[in-house]
Amino acid sequence: MPEPVSAPGLMPPAERSNWIRLRTLILLRWAAIAGQAIAIAVAEVYFQIQLDLGLCLLVVGTAVLANIIAVSVFPENRRLSETETMLTLLFDIVQLAALLYLTGGLNNPFALLILTPVTISATALSQRSTLFLAHVAFALITVLAFYHMPLVTADGSMQSLPPIFLFGFWAALVIGISFLGLYAERVISEMNKMSDALLATQMALAREQKLTDLGGVVAAAAHELGTPLATIKLVSSEMIDELSDRPELREDMELIRDQADRCRDIMRSMGRAGKDDLHMRTAPLEAIVEEAAEPHVNRGKELIFRSEPIHGGAPRMPMVHRRPEIIHGLRNLIQNAVDFADARVWVLAQWTPAEITIRIMDDGPGYPPHLLGRIGDPFLRQRKNPLHQKKRPEYEGMGLGLFIAKTLLERSGAQVIFANGSDPFLTDADRSDPRGAVVEVKWPISAIGVSAESQLAALGENMPIEA
């Protein structure tokens, strides 16, 4: 399956666990401590539940002491490692379980809060750490279902749930921990992947934009250096006239003048090239396609280019905006086609009065049918197949090329469609030449340029020079 180029400079997902600040967890724990203290006070005073206040305050005090030690030993902006964050959340689970043991176990509705540390772990830590904390939570709530200090009111009556409700609450907690942990982990994973992919897209576009802006820099440099070079030439010419009786100095001044002339010619040439690049805002559609394909022309595969009007399109090829995102996006698509083609790649440019379409086809194996609907997603799969590595020995990418191409082209107003050229279950004899992957990129003509007729109306026909 065609896959993308690499995107260097992205942070591996495993390192994201080091983004958690100690201050964040400390503030969350202070909030939990305040809630625990309020709940104990309300149960004791309002509901007149006879709690072992000494032990309850001791358990709450351990959380207070842990926060004080953390603030005293570490700076508030300390970033915790994976292990440190996991141990912090483990402490919170055990501390909450100890408090629940003293306050009725699963008869206490606040047992629901044991979901919180596991959910935090699922959003910030690795799957391994989350599974460990989840299993600890499972074990503790199971123990609390059978072993806990009862809730006894002032009149001596015991408050407890019927066994069926107690079992239901236990099952709900187990399912809640499992579901919320999995849900949070999958959502955060998708967000992180999209964040990395968008960063790679920005990096690719920035590189292409720098190349485009280089012409303007060259033109500005040529303009700025023109005046000092002209001054050098003027002064050296005047000194040559005054040194007619000093032949050795006259030769040196003539050399300076000649070199100033040479510098002027070089800068004039660079300035002309820079201005050409700067002002080449539009180009024929075919020129844009060939520029995008140029790095892959001599890579051992035959590239076949065709351009034609369809459905009433004008005979003259349309002019389009020469945007970095268009060139880079098409270049990625063509690279994938060349990488996975057997022998040939077709690049077909077509236009109608309203649309411009570029279709890239190859004679390779095409996209796997079960992944066809997901082509263009970031990090679609990791390449492990030795056959694929042999096909692309230089590939060490992260699965971002098609995503980058799709994102950049859609940013320019295009619609990108991925398909296969023929049924993958047909034999080679029954399949047409462009039988592999097909990518169709389609723009409204107003989105990326103007038709040749519009430019002709603005500029007029080329007229011969009259003698």
Q: How far apart are CA 312 and CA 366, in angstroms?
A: 31
CA 65 from centre of chain:
42
Dihedral, CA of residue 367, residue 338, residue 280 and residue 454, to nearest 10: -50
**Count of CB atoms situated within 10 Å of the CB of 305:** 14
Domain ranges of the chain: 22-160, 209-280, 283-380+395-423+434-451
pLDDT band of residue 214 (cuts 50, 70, 90) is: low
Q: Are the C-beta atoms of 370 and 428 separated by less than 8 Å?
A: no
CA 203 from centre of chain:
9
Cα of first residue to Cα of last residue in the chain, in angstroms, is: 62
Across all residues in the chain, what is the average pLDDT?
A: 77
Mean pLDDT for the stretch of residues 150-179? 85
What is the DSSP track for 347-372?
EEEEE-SSEEEEEEEESS----GGGG
CA 38 from centre of chain:
44
Q: How far apart are CA 327 and CA 459, in angstroms?
A: 26
pTM of the model as a whole: 0.51
Residue 376, SS3 per DSSP: coil
Q: How far apart are CA 59 and CA 65, in angstroms?
A: 10
Distances in Å between the Cα of 205 and the Cα atoms of 202, 286, 321 are: 5, 21, 16
Q: Is the pLDDT of residue 340 over 60?
A: yes
Span 116-141, pLDDT tens digits: 888 888 888 888 888 899 899 999 99
The whole-number pLDDT of residue 398 equals 41
The third-level CATH classification (topology) of the domain covering 283-380+395-423+434-451 is Heat Shock Protein 90 (3.30.565)
Mean pLDDT for the stretch of residues 386-413? 64
Where is average pLDDT lowest: 17-26, 63-72, 144-153, 397-406?
Answer: 397-406
Q: How far apart are CA 76 and CA 62, in angstroms?
A: 20
Q: How far apart are CA 263 and CA 233, in angstroms?
A: 10
Give the contacts of 453 (CB within 8 A, at least 6 positions apart).
Answer: 314, 316
What is the DSSP track for 36-63?
HHHHHHHHHHTS-B---HHHHHHHHHHH
Q: Which amino acid is at 269?
A: S
Q: Are the C-beta atoms of 85 and 131 separated by less than 8 Å?
A: no
Which among 324, 409, 313, 417 is positioned nearest to 355, based on CA atoms? 313
Distances in Å between the Cα of 204 and the Cα atoms of 81, 198, 254, 325 are: 31, 10, 49, 9
